[in-house]
Amino acid sequence: MSLRQVILAASAVVVLALTAACTVTVGGNQDDGTELFGEGNSMEWDLTRPLDAEAMGLPADKRVEVDVPEGATVSLTLPTGTWSGRTEQMAVSTRHGYVDSVDLFWTEADGQAAADRMVADADLLGVDGARVAEWAETARWAETADTNRTRTDANYNGANGEVSTSVKPSMAIGEGEGTPVRLWYKFYVRDVVETAG
């Protein structure tokens, strides 16, 4: 990368941080992912306005697995509030030069912990709190179920303004009490980009 490209990239990040309320450290476009977490292993993005992929060091039309530091936290500004939480894995999909979706993955200790977290986030994510609370019962069944299936999962869709959301818990079946649950939160922002364009 030439000095001019480095200066332009750095300037774009500063402008983006000032105009989009983002705190971003760009680690470049590596084949195995890109570093988007800043000081204190945190990342803050405002999903209420389009996020320019190039300014963040992301490719224009691709799904990128992001390098996530241990204990990292993500804060995402939505039209009616801010979601914040820790994450273990992250993927960002871009489309036509803008962030199209953000996928966050982490593990909760068991089904009740996963249900509690989903219920706590339900209003902000625009999902049905009563439905996600039922995951605790599904998890209790799965802990001791005798079935040929190896995993059980669910999908709860919602929206917060122009940001569409999806919450997906998944766990192994028949592994006993305290089986961990993998949570996948998806924030889909294509409508934000299209409305601004």
- 111 or 12, higher pLDDT: 111
Read off the pLDDT of each residue in 87-107 and give the average, rounded to a whole number.
95
The domain locations on the chain are 1-197
What pLDDT, on a 0 to 100 scale, did the predictor assign at position 42? Answer: 87
What pLDDT, on a 0 to 100 scale, did the predictor assign at position 57? Answer: 85
Cα–Cα distance between 43 and 24 in angstroms, integer?
Answer: 6
What pLDDT, on a 0 to 100 scale, did the predictor assign at position 196? Answer: 72
What pLDDT, on a 0 to 100 scale, did the predictor assign at position 34? Answer: 58
Cα–Cα distance between 120 and 15 in angstroms, integer?
Answer: 34
pLDDT in tens, 18-65: 333 333 333 344 444 557 887 778 899 999 999 999 988 889 899 999
What pLDDT, on a 0 to 100 scale, did the predictor assign at position 194? Answer: 84
Residues ≥6 apart with Cβ < 8 Å to 130 = none
What pLDDT, on a 0 to 100 scale, did the predictor assign at position 120? Answer: 98
pLDDT(2) > 80: no
Average pLDDT of the chain to the nearest whole number: 84
pLDDT(10) > 50: no
pLDDT(119) > 50: yes
What pLDDT, on a 0 to 100 scale, did the predictor assign at position 11? Answer: 37
Read off the pLDDT of each residue in 1-10 and give the average, rounded to a whole number.
39
Question: pTM above the 0.85 mark?
Answer: no
Residues ≥6 apart with Cβ < 8 Å to 6 = none
Lowest mean pLDDT of 69-73, 124-128, 175-179, 193-197, name the range.
193-197
What pLDDT, on a 0 to 100 scale, did the predictor assign at position 155? Answer: 97
Read off the pLDDT of each residue in 147-162 and give the average, rounded to a whole number.
95
Read off the pLDDT of each residue in 165-188 and give the average, rounded to a whole number.
97
Annotate 152-191 with three-state secondary structure. Answer: EECCEEEEECCEEEEEEEEEECCCCCCCCEEEEEEEECHH
